[in-house]
């Protein structure tokens, strides 16, 4: 089915791994923290450390979304569990976390084609916003250091709104604060459950960014008989066909 152009006015982007290349940036931020704490002197290679950390971090974020762990626990446990598993001694998990969070927003890699897309959308007078699960200070710094800031109208973080995506409160808050209408809003994100089902559950259309050059723009049939549309895109510039 060929997607027809729809009149959107407000676009809500996820930040991590949709605009800001979280994977690449977190790798470099962790590498620099790893060096600052001299972890290689404990016979652990950086690649192994990063793999173990990523595993624990991923599962703790999932617990956080289910409200099973607090922000404070998440911060401590993602390093504590990595240190325990790799037998790394003498480093305060919270201190390493602080170091990593300091390094993280200094990184500036964006996903391919982001600035070109935002330039295109800005010229067409769309209101561009960010709705992100993450800590307010960190997410704002990322937007600044990567050069996204001039394009972005407002940034909404789960920490500020106190409910992470896919909870409807954060979408509701974002829509109201930007004076948007649900029917004229589009959420763009790389996470099916968090971004796409979150937006659809709240009642706005969504574009699912799958990060694969092989995927062409697709207009997904909605089997659940919901009124909203889901677009599937492999690359961000495919949004230009619908916007
Ligand atoms: Mg994401």
Q: How far is the CA of 112 from the centre of ligand 1 (A)?
A: 15
Residue 221 is predicted with a pLDDT of: 67
Residues of the chain with pLDDT under 50: none
Residue 223 is predicted with a pLDDT of: 57
Contact 228, 200 (CB under 8 A): yes
- Kindly list the structural domains of the chain, giving each domain's residue range(s) and its CATH number in brackets, ordered by start: 10-21+110-241 (3.40.50.1000), 23-106 (1.10.150.240)
Token pair, residue 108, equals 């500036």
Q: How far is the CA of 183 from the centre of ligand 1 (A)?
A: 23
Q: How far is the CA of 188 from the centre of ligand 1 (A)?
A: 9
Residue 38 is predicted with a pLDDT of: 96
pLDDT digits (tens, 9 = 90+) for 52-61: 999 999 999 9
Q: How far is the CA of 70 from the centre of ligand 1 (A)?
A: 20
Residue 111 is predicted with a pLDDT of: 97
Residue 222 is predicted with a pLDDT of: 61
Residue 101 is predicted with a pLDDT of: 87
């Amino acid at each position: 089915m060929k997607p027809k152009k729809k009149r959107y006015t407000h676009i809500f982007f996820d930040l991590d791994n949709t605009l800001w290349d979280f994977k690449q940036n977190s790798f470099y931020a962790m590498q620099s923290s790893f060096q600052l704490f001299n972890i290689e002197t404990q016979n652990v290679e950086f690649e192994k450390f990063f793999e173990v950390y990523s595993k624990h971090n991923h599962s703790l974020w999932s617990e956080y979304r289910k409200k099973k762990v607090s922000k404070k626990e998440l911060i401590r446990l993602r390093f504590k569990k990595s240190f325990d598993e790799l037998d790394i001694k003498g480093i305060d998990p919270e201190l390493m976390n602080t170091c990593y969070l300091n390094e993280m927003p200094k990184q500036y890699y964006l996903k391919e084609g982001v600035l070109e897309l935002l330039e295109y959308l800005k010229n067409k007078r769309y209101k561009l916003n960010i709705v992100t699960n993450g800590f307010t200070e960190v997410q704002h710094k990322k937007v600044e250091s990567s050069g996204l800031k001039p394009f972005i109208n407002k940034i909404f973080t789960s920490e500020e709104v106190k409910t992470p995506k896919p909870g409807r409160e954060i979408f509701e808050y974002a829509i109201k604060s930007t004076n948007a209408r649900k029917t004229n809003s589009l959420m763009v994100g790389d996470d099916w459950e968090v971004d796409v089902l979150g937006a659809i559950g709240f009642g706005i259309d969504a574009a699912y960014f799958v990060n694969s050059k092989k995927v062409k723009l697709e207009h997904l049939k909605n089997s659940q008989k919901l009124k909203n549309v889901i677009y599937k895109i492999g690359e961000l510039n495919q949004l230009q066909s619908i916007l």
